[in-house]
Chains A and B, each alone.
Chain A
Amino acid sequence: MTKSILKKIVAIILALLAVLSAVVGCIYLPKRSSEIGDDIISDMRILTIINATTGDGLIETYIALAKEEARLQAEAEKMGMSKRRTFIAEAEAATRAKYEGVDTDNSSINPDDLAEPVKFYAEKLKAYIDEEARATEEYRKAHYDEAEAKAQAEREKKIAEGKDVPETLTVVVDMSGFEPTEKMIELRLSADEAYKQMGEAFKKSYPLIDDAALEAFEESIEKIVYVAGDDFSSLYDRYVEAGSASAIQDKTSAFLIRYADDFIYIAIALVIVMLTILFSEFLIGKMGIPRVIIGLFFIALCFTSLFYDLPLDTYFSNTLVRMGMNSIMVLAMVPGIQCGISLNLGLPIGLVAGLFGGLVTIQLGIPGIFGFIAAIAVGGVIAAICGWLYGHLLNRLKGEEMGVTTYVGFSIVSLMCIVWLVLPFNSLKLRWPMGSGMRNTIGLDKTNFEHILDDFLSFEIGGFTVPTGLLLFMAFMCFVVWLFGRTKTGIAMQAVGNNPRFAEATGISVNKMRIIGTVLSTVLGAIGILVYSQSYGFMQLYTAPRQMGFIAASAILIGGASTSRCKVSHVLIGTFLFQGILTLGMPVANVIVPGSTFSETLRILISNGIILYALTKSGGASRG
């Protein structure tokens, strides 16, 4: 009773805070693009420019300019080394003497006098820089394929000659052929004109500065005024960092305007927290504690990255790609759980089979989509055979699946470490440059099946790349597994997992169904690692597959499955949440604690923690 009242009170307080925060955000956010916002930026910009160009620093600039002039003169006159040094030193001393005792005080400058020309210059410069960025990007895009083909050809040539090649293909677009567009030139000229006007205004306010100095300062002033992609927040932050916060007249409202978006985020976050508190029992009952925690953690990461102005859309795009990459391996858990072998931690059997299939196609040089299909076919057949044997092993050791699958997973990875070393494949893409045996990581390229799914029909919305082919393939595989779950055999298999004695009473062979489930799981593992590799761009051999079974298992558990029950929807939800946390976790952690391995720690913590939790929940149930 008191608990529920307490909950309601907390919820009401949070709701009030959320409303307050939202109101603040909504009032101040539009001010960014209004005159108030412009004035704040303009004031700070002028101060930053003044600080950078005037004062004692200016004298040093003159000295530097004089020295440079002297050096050039000396060079032109072909002076000897010692003579040249004396000449430059003399020039320096002369300049220093010239400005000795000159008042460098810049407090006499009235920023208002500069406001108009600076603003004008800023507008012109922005127009030019934006145009330049657009034009270069256009050029880069137009010439990317050409550059890639060239790089690829070079790589092929090297391989043909038997030379060592790096694992990855680095494509550098040669920008030397880029010609400024007419519009660029036009805009540049008008920006230069505006700069000159600004310089005149400067000279008026601060006679000490001269044209030479202005010319020397142009580049750094340009960087102060506008950098490609700047908006209110980034300009504000840059000027504050340069120590120009003192230029702001109304500090409070400037602060509120700067962080208006964050106030709106806080409002949304507070609403979420409020709803979670209000419906905590319902949520926990429906999803279980760990899923609620992980879900909230994911949301918290999203908000944190918003607060730090990190590119959330890019992260979501990455999450989507990683979800597609990992989903088939997670899907491989479904038949395992359904047929009653619980979490198939022996998934590495399927993974190494898939990797082997991939190696075969690269060795044979089967290109593109056919290579991918061939890899799946070879890997799938090997996986089916291994899965069949593995299923027999599991049937002999019923009730100990957790332990057996784990050990089988570890053993097969170690065994394959030897196999990779002795495989007789001789393609230079595969084997070590010296000696024999497969490389640790094998870079895929366009002649193999790199991004064969990712790039199929992919498109971009803003900063958000949609890997259509990958998602379609994921959806197709999910559909296949879902469909299988509704066939007679699929239903019988689920009954075996659910209640083996019930299945037996209906004349269903428990052992056979368990083998079917194990084989399916293993084959899906083989397909899964190939999908993963084509997206990642590398095939990782040796110890890399060891952890993947655990990652897949924890993902499906996060999605809502237990060690004895699961649905295809658990795969999608779980993979998204798990990969989302990993993708967002790294940049957010790096902002908070630079250079930390937080993301890796997080992965191990979550994946092992959720498996342990699921085991405590299943109790003896998995020992059926």
Chain B
Amino acid sequence: MSAEFVLEMKNITKRYGENTVLSDVSLSVRPGEIHALLGENGAGKSTLMNVLFGMPVIHATGGFEGKVLLNGELTHVMSPHDAMQKGIGMVHQEFMLLPGFTVTENIKLNREITRRNPISRFMGKNLETLDEKSMSIDARRALDSVGMNIDEYTKIHGMPVGYMQFVEIAREIDKKGVKLLVFDEPTAVLTESEAKQLISVMKQIAQSGIAIIFITHRLDEVAAAADSITILRDGKLAAVRETKNTSIVELAELMIGRKGEAVVEADKRTPPSDEVALKVENLYVDMAGEEVKGISFDVYKGEILGIGGLAGQGKLGIPNGIMSLYDAHGSVELFGKRIVLGDAGAVLKSGIAMVSEDRKGVGLLLDQSIEDNIVFTAMQIYGEYLKKEVNIGSVRIPIAPITIKDQKKIREVALQMIKDLDIRCFGPTQHTGTLSGGNQQKVCIARALAMHPKFLFVSEPTRGIDIGAKKLVLETLVKLNREQGMTVVMVSSELQELRSVCDRIAIVSEGKLVDILDPNASDADFGLAMSGIKPSEHKEKGDGEQ
């Protein structure tokens, strides 16, 4: 090991078209150290790793600027396979394991040890016999080194999640000449004890001289495991710290920071009412990737409550669970009236509307017109916009008891909505599939408003729409709240947006509510809360230590 750093990435800049996702980012990792890479969603962590692994998505979009040095030598990683040969391994967040294969087969996949046989002499290397014995010896060795005593002939299928993670690590270690291992959020799916074990295994690996890049958002794990830390924020290098010279609070502050100017700034005020509009107790939601594990909170009448947190922590599960789009249980009361979870129609009928984060998947009928989209829910739930006659010219033919849609009324309300929300379109009959993202979002909001809801959930309202539309959507929400007194719960990954609009902000981590913060609370508080540490408790703990 002649070079000081096993990996140096210098001044990396990456653009996707006009959009700069990484600008002038550097990262240096010493041999045998655990280097944590910290950052919010969208801070550029995964793009940086894509650059390191030479992912096709990077090359296909015009490459990147800057240098990558391995062991002090300038290197061009052309593909993930190339990266593997150069000694860089990756432990994936989603397991890349074949469930029907044994542990050994998974560890040695595509790197099998083979013996020649008569057929392979003619037909080539692909038909050589597997040397199961030496393969299992190798697998055993790798498993031992991660402290796993599971039998190497066990099939992956049916294994506990934690074990899969270790098999994945064992596979990377088994690769010859591995110098650098990247752990992408390895503890996200693990239990606490498994996470502890993982960290000790990581330390063990590091001691054997393999450097580790540890991507996570859990600040306490960073403090426990990492030697040094690189923090990214908004595609830029925020700071590089040695663990011993920093504190969790500082890390949290560095991670959150202030990102640009707020698009909309609602006037700050004290929460307008003490009356509880929505009371949520012990809510569990089974939504894949956004699980909610027992959350309780109150929403006051007339306020805008923000729900924030990192992706995959369960914030999206809350509205989706209450609206009964996913299996949920717990107690939810709207203005003192209990809501039965599991019947989406009944929930809508009780007066809650939702603007879904999945516009194209759940929010819209893409093949149907704007007007049909807008009135759809109101028609299905309340039976509005229906009539009992067919009009041919001025002739009315009564067809009761059949009711059909009242095109005239629908057109009226659609035109009103198009005007009010400034939906840019050719007319109310344009199909929503041909609208831009921002205008699609406005149609979704219009559909919710057509229900005249008492209570509105807005989930990721500004995801994937341009800045002008963003402003309009947020302004609309504020206007609805201020002028019509509508109680709004807004779920968003954009903390800045929540802080500019909401009266209070609930932060969710790992399916649980961490804390409800004032929008003016410090960056450090938000940072801590997002990594699952309640700011007030941490301070107390910190104070106690001092």
A positions within 8 Å CB-CB of B: 483, 486-488, 491-492, 494-495, 498-499, 501-502, 504-508, 564-565
Contact = CB atoms under 8 A, between A and B. Distances in A.
Interface residues of B, number: 35
B365 A488 contact: no
Contact of A507 (B343, B362, B368, B372): B343
Given A486-B404, A488-B386, A504 B368 contact: no
B343 A487 contact: no
Interface in B365-381: 365-368, 372, 376-377, 379-381
Given A483-B404, A486-B404, A506 B368 contact: no
A564 B367 contact: yes
B237 to A, nearest CB: 40
B381 A507 contact: yes
Nearest to B324: A507
A491 B365 CA distance: 11
Contacts of B86: none
A486 B362 contact: no
B404 A487 contact: yes
27 contacts: A483-B399, A483-B404, A487-B403, A488-B383, A488-B405, A491-B376, A491-B379, A492-B380, A499-B362, A501-B361, A502-B362, A502-B363, A502-B364, A502-B365, A505-B325, A505-B344, A505-B354, A505-B362, A506-B344, A506-B348, A506-B377, A507-B324, A507-B343, A507-B345, A507-B347, A507-B348, A507-B380
A270 to B, nearest CB: 36
Given A506-B376, A507-B345, A507-B348, A495 B325 contact: no
B364 A499 contact: yes
A491 B405 contact: yes
A154 B317 CA distance: 78
B37 interface: no
A504 B344 CA distance: 7
Given A487-B402, A488-B403, A505-B325, 5 more contacts: A483-B404, A501-B325, A501-B361, A502-B364, A506-B344
A497 to B, nearest CB: 9
B380 A508 contact: yes
Interface string B402-438: 1111000000000000000000000000000000000
Contacts of B363: 502
B396 to A, nearest CB: 14
A504 B325 contact: yes
Contacts of A491: 372, 376, 379-380, 405
A506 B402 contact: no
Given A487-B404, A499-B365, A501-B361, A507 B386 contact: no
B26 interface: no
Contacts of A495: 365, 368, 376
Contacts of B402: 483, 487
B367 A505 contact: no
A25 to B, nearest CB: 43
A498 B368 contact: yes
Contacts of A505: 323, 325, 344, 354, 356, 362
A3 B380 CA distance: 51
Contact of B362 (A487, A488, A501): A501
A247 B277 CA distance: 103
B390 A498 contact: no
B345 to A, nearest CB: 2
A338 to B, nearest CB: 11
A93 B403 CA distance: 95
A166 B513 CA distance: 83
A486 B346 contact: no
Given A483-B390, A501-B362, A488 B367 contact: no
Contacts of A507: 324, 343-349, 380-381
Given A486-B405, A491-B372, A498-B365, A506 B390 contact: no
A487 B356 CA distance: 26
Contacts of A498: 365-368
Contacts of A499: 361-362, 364-366
Contacts of A508: 345, 380
B119 to A, nearest CB: 38
Contacts of B323: 505
A516 to B, nearest CB: 14
Contacts of B376: 491, 495, 506
Contacts of B347: 507
B344 A488 contact: no
Contacts of A564: 367
A449 B325 CA distance: 52
B379 A488 contact: yes
B361 A488 contact: no
B76 to A, nearest CB: 37
B319 to A, nearest CB: 11
B435 to A, nearest CB: 15
A41 B150 CA distance: 104
Q: Which of B323, B344, B354, B379 has the most CB of A within 10 A?
A: B344
Contacts of A486: 404-405
Contacts of B404: 483, 486-487
Given A504-B325, A506-B345, A488 B380 contact: yes
B57 to A, nearest CB: 22
A564 B345 CA distance: 25
| Residue among B346, B372, B386, B404 having the largest count of chain A Cβ atoms under 10 Å | B404
B427 to A, nearest CB: 19
Contacts of A487: 386, 402-405
Which one of A486, A504, A505 has the highest number of Cβ atoms from chain B below 10 Å of its Cβ? A505
A565 B433 CA distance: 14
A290 B109 CA distance: 47
A501 B348 CA distance: 15
Contacts of B346: 507
A139 B388 CA distance: 54
Interface in B316-360: 323-325, 343-349, 354, 356, 358
A483 B404 CA distance: 7
Contacts of A501: 325, 358, 361-362
B397 to A, nearest CB: 10
Contacts of B324: 507
Nearest to B354: A505
Nearest to B384: A488
A546 B383 CA distance: 42
Nearest to B399: A483
Nearest to B358: A501
Q: Which interface residue of B348, B365, B403 has the most chain A CB atoms within 10 A?
A: B365
A492 B404 CA distance: 12
A346 B57 CA distance: 44
Contacts of A483: 390, 399, 402, 404
A176 to B, nearest CB: 55
A89 B237 CA distance: 126
B286 to A, nearest CB: 15
B36 to A, nearest CB: 38
A537 to B, nearest CB: 35
A507 B345 CA distance: 4
Contacts of B399: 483
Contacts of A492: 380
A565 B325 contact: no
Contacts of B368: 494-495, 498
Contacts of B381: 506-507
